[in-house]
Structures are given as structure tokens and as C-alpha cells.
Structure 1
Amino acid sequence: MSAIQLPFNTDEILAGLKPWVECESPTFDASAVNRMMDLAAYDLAAAGAVIERIPGRMGFGGSVRARFPHTDMGKPGVLISGHLDTVHPVGTLAQNPWRVEGNHCYGPGIQDMKAGCYMAVEAMRHIAMAGLQTPLPVTILFTPDEEVGTPSTRDLIEMEARKNRYVLVPEPTDPKCGAVTGRYAIARFKLRTSGRASHAGWALKDGRPAIHGMARKIIEIEAMSSEDCTFSVGVIHAGQWVNCVADSCEIEVLSMAKRQHDLDAGVQKMLALAGEANDIQTEVWRTYTRPVWEADEGTLALFEIGKSVAADIGFVLTHGSAGGGSDGNFTGALGIPTLDSIGARGAGLHTPNEHIFIDSLTERSRFMAGLLMRLGGQG
């Protein structure tokens, strides 16, 4: 039996995926993420993997590393890298509960990227149940902090990737079945304006409103966006009482560019915003950066293998560079052949309407299994 003929079953995949989606795991809730890692560790162990739990740090949850038994275990093989944290706070499940409506299945984090991660486990489970062995040893690494830039596990991912010949990232694919073979560079920033507090009623003129100062900065920041480098303000924190002039305001900014030198220039523009004007001090920090990943010969050769597997299954796999960061930025930038966004098809990414297309579940599970059996061999 070839890998693409393995008996994947949509209802079985949905039944296994449901507990993952219903275990809400927002990045900043380490306990919730660890509960999700427990579920994943159990399913990985049930699929035959040797499990290692890696403690979290920097206030984030832990990671799970799963190595599948192989005659060449310990030699360079295939790394499947995914994250189990989501952008959705605990309680989102009440707004977007697990439900099946036609070809759509809904739930927080189902598209980004619990479905893709679960299908990787399902692929390895079916390979083992069929008595097959992948040509190369397979490691699955699930991490807890991708949605905030992977601050606590970047070195873990990079070191694991260096031990392997290929990296597969089951981030969600687009409806046209496009894989990602390159990603834009990304930088994150925090800004703080500091003014002077006063009573907003009887001493308004004595204050120096940090919110007003920051509002000017926000307009300035977003006006810097161009085709080469974009800037977006996504988080604002300021004030506690409407009858007080706020003396502090903080924002978070995301910048993205197709080329590294454009991002580097954007970083300098952001850092140049620091200073003082109208008795309001502005401070700027760069926080986390994802390097640009441009497809090289190794990644393009890996894509051709994936394209061949997809053709055997019956769909056309396309590819290209994409915005939006992933841990493929890190592995691809290291020069390790990486194929990204090969997870479930769906829509509503990062919104209360997030869902997957159910008909992609067996298709993408079969694709993952076929790819794992093709890499390093003739399967």
C-alpha cells in the first residue's frame, strides 16, 4: 500500500481534532497552552512516538518534541514544526463553538494551526498502523509562542532544524492549495509616550497628555507604509480614569517587508521616532524579528517533490512567497529546505469566524503522509 492510499477517514479526523480545538490555548495563558500540549503529547504517544516535554520559559507554556522510532533514529531526517498557541482568548469558544456546517468546521485556532498539526500526527499514525517506515526519521516539534513572534523557542526550532534535512510547516494553506516557499521579513516594536498627569476637569492645562502625543505618532507611523515596507499599529494601552490626563501610553507595531534591506530601513525609521516634543517623551524598542526567507534551490527542489505527491493525489500544488510570519522564516533563512503552509484549507484566519474546509482534511493528511514517504526514498 502506498502512503496516498492509506485509509484516512474524515469523521475520525474530526473526532480527534475536536478536543484540540475545544482546548483553548491563547499564547499568554501558559497553563492553557500546557493543557493543549498534554493533549498533543498523548496523541503523539498513541501514534508511537517517544515524547519529550520541554519546560516553558519567559512566562510561556512548554513545548513537545516527538521522535518516531526508526532504524536511522538520530540521523538527519524530517522535522515537522508547528505551534499550538492561538490568538483567541479563553472564552472565544462561546462565540465560535466547534460546529460542522456543510463543508465548514468552526472553532478558535482550528485553521491556525491546530488542524494542520493534528493532521501531521494523523499521517504518522496511519503510516505506523500500515506497518510502513518513512525513508527518513521524523521528528514533530510543537511550540507555544509563534503568535507573538516565537520569543522563547526560536533557538529550539533552529537547533532542531539544523539536525534535519527537511522542514515541513503545516500552517494553513490558501483555498487554491498554494504552499509557501518564502516569507517576508517581520519586525515588532513597542512605543511609549510619557507626559504629565493632571485632573482633566479643573487642571486640564497642567497636564501633558501622553495619549495625544501617541495619537500623533500613530498617524506618523502608519503614514510610513509603502509597497516595500508596511507599518501597522495593533495594540494600544493608556489611561485608567476618564477624569485624569494620562501620563503614559503604550502601543505595539508590526512592520513587514519583502526584502531584508527594506525592513532594516523601516527599523531605522521606527527607532528615529524616539525623542521629546511638547513636553512628551517618546521611547521606542524593537522586540522580535523574523528574518526574510527567500526560496533557494533546496526549497524549490522540496516543492517539486511536494508537487509530484499532490499530482498523484489529484490536486495541483502551487507555491510562492507570502506575508504573515511563521517558523518557516527561521528554518528557511537558515538554508534548510522548507515547505510551509501545507495544512488545512479554510478561511477566517485570526477572526471569530475561523474555520476549515472539511474536504481538505483527508486530502492534506494524505499529502503529508505521501510527502513523508517520498522524502529520502522512492515511495
Structure 2
Amino acid sequence: MTLDALRFDAATILESLRPWVACESPTWDTAAVGRMMDLAGRDLALLGASVERIPGRMGFGDCLRARIPHPRAGTPGILLLGHMDTVHPVGTLGTLAWRHDGGRCYGPGLFDMKGGNMLMLAALRALQDAAVPTALPVTILFTSDEEVGSPSTRDLIEAEAARHRYVLVPEPARADGGVVVARYAIARYRIATHGRPSHAGAQLAAGASAIREMARQILAIEGMSGDSPTYSVGIVRGGAWSNCVAMLCEAEVLTMARTAADLAQADAAMAGLRAVGEGCRVTVTPGPVRPLWERGNPGGERLYAAARDLAAGLGFAITAQASGGGSDGNFTGALGIPTLDGLGVRGDGAHTLEEHIVIDSLPERARLLAGLLATLD
């Protein structure tokens, strides 16, 4: 049987996806993430998988691990790795409603990465319907905190990946449909500026504003950005009363580094921040780090070649690319486990109110995943 004979219908995949997108699941809302895991767990059970709920920790939601029955169960196989949390708060559907517009479909989390996660299930279902066995046992792991750097799940991801021969990650495809074979390092930092409080109306000069100090720090931090490393301040919180000179302001910084030397440079630069204003001080706390995943692992190269050849047989090309956007593939690739990322849907607008997928990419990408599942050994 050829892969072209497997049945994939974009409308059917979208019908399965719509309840997932309607179940908004921002990272920090553990109840919302739990509802999403309930939906995914039921769909996995319908595939015949044995589904295990793994309790969350550090204030994050639960994860799901599902194993597809296989004669070689317990031997190293294929790990399908995805996250079910999104950056969109509950209520985003009011602005970014599920809708079709030409060949596109819009919705929060649809592109990053519920669409890719559903492709995994669609590929497995099509293989089952055609009575085509996977060559290796298949495990699915859905995690709950990828969008904030996977601080509570990194150990789970690495431990599960170490039991497998391959890791497939259906994060969004590249703009040209290519896949990801390397990812740059991503590091996060929490910064706090500390000032001296005073009454803003009666004794303004007696105070030292933590907010003003943070404003100086933000300009300095973002001013250090180059091609690599880059620096971006994404969250700022400070002050409690307009008539009080703020004594505390906090911010979160994300850096991207293409090389280990660039990552060390970023770390030194952040550790070296010093207050500018009199009466102020700055503290920096390192956060989660996604390690550098470099290309060159022989097993990874063979995995990409297998995917490239399958795609060519299906009538399209997939290029191999490095990406500045982090994913849980950073962890598995950095461990040396053959990993192929960016296997998900084509689209654009991740993390924005224009997030969408290209509908025609659903059967194409699902068929590629099915081919990998059927042939990897």
C-alpha cells in the first residue's frame, strides 16, 4: 500500500480540531489546560491508546502520556511530542474567532500547535483504518507549559525521550513548508529594580523610582540586541499607587543565541546589569533555558533524509532549517536523540490575533507523519 492511498480529508481533520481550539488553554490557567487534556485524552482513548494523566507541578497543568498498542511494546520506538498550552488568554475567541477565510482557518492555538497535535492523531487513525502497522511502538506526550520555557516538564520530556529511538515534533512548519533540524538556544531572565518609596505629591524628590530605573534598564537591554544574541523584554509590572514613588518593578527578558559563545555572552551581560539611578539597585534571576540544538547528529541526519525522501514521493519538498523559536525539540535534540521538528501545519501568525493555518496543508502534513510512523525502524 502506498502513502497516497491513505485517506486524509481536510474537512474531517478540521471538524476534529474545532473542539480543541474552542477549549482555550493558556499556560497559567491550570483548569483550562486540564479541560484541554480531558479532550485530548478522550480522543487518544478512541484510538485505542492507553492514556496516563501525569499530575502537574510548580503551578502548571497536567500532562498526558499515551501509548499505542504494539507487538514490540517496551522497546525503543517513536515519541510524538507536543504541547497543549497556548499564549492566548481565555476569552481570545471573542476576537480571534474560529473562521474560514479562503484557504485559511483562524483560531487561538490552531497554528501553535493544536493543529500539529491533531495531525499526529489523524496519521495514526489513517494507518489503523488501512491496517498498516507502525514499524516501531509509538508514544504520545502532550505537555502543559511549553510556552513559558517548559520549567516543570523538561525532566519529564528528557526522561521519556531517552526511552525512544526517534522524536517527532509537529510544531508549525517553516514558511516554505520546511522542517526544523536545529534550534538556537533560548534563555529567560527575571529582572527586578528596587527603588526608594516616597509620597509622589508631597515628597517626590525624596524617592527613587523603581519604574524609572526599569525604563532605563529596558532601553539598555534591548539596545544590546544584534543578530545574536537578541534581547526582548516581554513583561513589565511595577507600582501600586499613582501617588507613591514605586519601590519595585519587575520584568521578564527572553534572549536568543545562535551559538554557545553567544549564550555565554548573553548570560554575562544580564548578570552584569547595574543600576543607573541613585538610590536604586537591580537584581537578575536566571530562568528556564532551552539548550542549543545543533545540526550534525548522524541519526538526526538520517531521520531528516527519510522525511525528505517521503515528501518527495508525495510530490513536495521539505528543506532543513535552523530556527530561532524554541521548542521542546531543543531538549531532545541537545541530548543527541534523533529529532525532527517543524512537522506540523503550514500557516502564520503564531502568538498573534492573526494566527491561522493553511487548510490544504492538513492532508499533506498528516500523510508525511503517517509515512514516518509506518517506515521508521
Residues 181 and 322 in structure 2, CA contact (< 8 A), matched pair in contact too:
yes
Aligned to 2:255: 255
**1:241, distance to aligned residue in structure 2 (A):** 2.1
Aligned to 1:358: 359
Provide the rounded CA distance (Å) in 1 between the counterparts of 2:2 and 2:153.
Answer: 35
Matches within 5 A, 1:1-379: 1-274=1-274, 277-295=277-295, 296-376=297-377
- Paired AA for residue 316 in structure 2: F
| SS in structure 1 at match of 2:176 | coil
| SS in structure 2 at match of 1:270 | helix
- Number of aligned residue pairs: give it: 376
Residues 274 and 284 in structure 1, CA contact (< 8 A), matched pair in contact too:
no
- Per-residue displacement from partner, 1:24-67 (whole Å, max 9, x unpaired)? 00000000001000100111111111111101111100000010
- Paired AA for residue 118 in structure 1: M
Unaligned runs of 5+ residues in structure 1 are none
- Paired AA for residue 345 in structure 1: R
**1:4, distance to aligned residue in structure 2 (A):** 3.8
Relative to the length of structure 1, the TM-score reads 0.97
Residues 198 and 245 in structure 2, CA contact (< 8 A), matched pair in contact too:
yes
Residues 143 and 153 in structure 1, CA contact (< 8 A), matched pair in contact too:
yes
CA RMSD of aligned residues (A): 1.1
- Paired AA for residue 310 in structure 1: A
**1:120, distance to aligned residue in structure 2 (A):** 0.3
**1:132, distance to aligned residue in structure 2 (A):** 1.7
- Per-residue displacement from partner, 1:182-241 (whole Å, max 9, x unpaired)? 000111000001111112111111111001111111111112112231111111001122
Residues 216 and 276 in structure 2, CA contact (< 8 A), matched pair in contact too:
no
| SS in structure 2 at match of 1:131 | coil
- Paired AA for residue 156 in structure 1: L
- Per-residue displacement from partner, 1:270-316 (whole Å, max 9, x unpaired)? 01115685110110000110100011221111100000110111100
Residues 3 and 127 in structure 1, CA contact (< 8 A), matched pair in contact too:
no
- Per-residue displacement from partner, 1:63-98 (whole Å, max 9, x unpaired)? 000100000011000001000000000000100011
| SS in structure 2 at match of 1:232 | strand
Moved over 4 A (4+): 274-277
**Of 276-285 and 185-194, the range deviating more from structure 2:** 276-285
**Identity over the aligned pairs, expressed in percent?**
54
Relative to the length of structure 2, the TM-score reads 0.98
Provide the rounded CA distance (Å) in 2 between the counterparts of 1:3 and 1:73.
Answer: 24
**1:143, distance to aligned residue in structure 2 (A):** 0.1
- Paired AA for residue 304 in structure 1: A
- Paired AA for residue 361 in structure 2: S
Residues 4 and 367 in structure 1, CA contact (< 8 A), matched pair in contact too:
no
- Paired AA for residue 79 in structure 2: L
- Paired AA for residue 154 in structure 1: R
Provide the rounded CA distance (Å) in 1 between the counterparts of 2:53 and 2:260.
Answer: 34
- Paired AA for residue 218 in structure 2: I
Residues 48 and 125 in structure 1, CA contact (< 8 A), matched pair in contact too:
no
- Paired AA for residue 299 in structure 1: G
| SS in structure 1 at match of 2:288 | strand
Provide the rounded CA distance (Å) in 2 between the counterparts of 1:275 and 1:102.
Answer: 52
Unaligned runs of 5+ residues in structure 2 are none
Residues 237 and 249 in structure 2, CA contact (< 8 A), matched pair in contact too:
yes
Provide the rounded CA distance (Å) in 2 between the counterparts of 1:100 and 1:43.
Answer: 24
Residues 3 and 373 in structure 1, CA contact (< 8 A), matched pair in contact too:
no
- Paired AA for residue 355 in structure 1: H
Provide the rounded CA distance (Å) in 2 between the counterparts of 1:21 and 1:96.
Answer: 11
Provide the rounded CA distance (Å) in 2 between the counterparts of 1:15 and 1:221.
Answer: 45
**Of 222-231 and 344-353, the range deviating more from structure 2:** 222-231
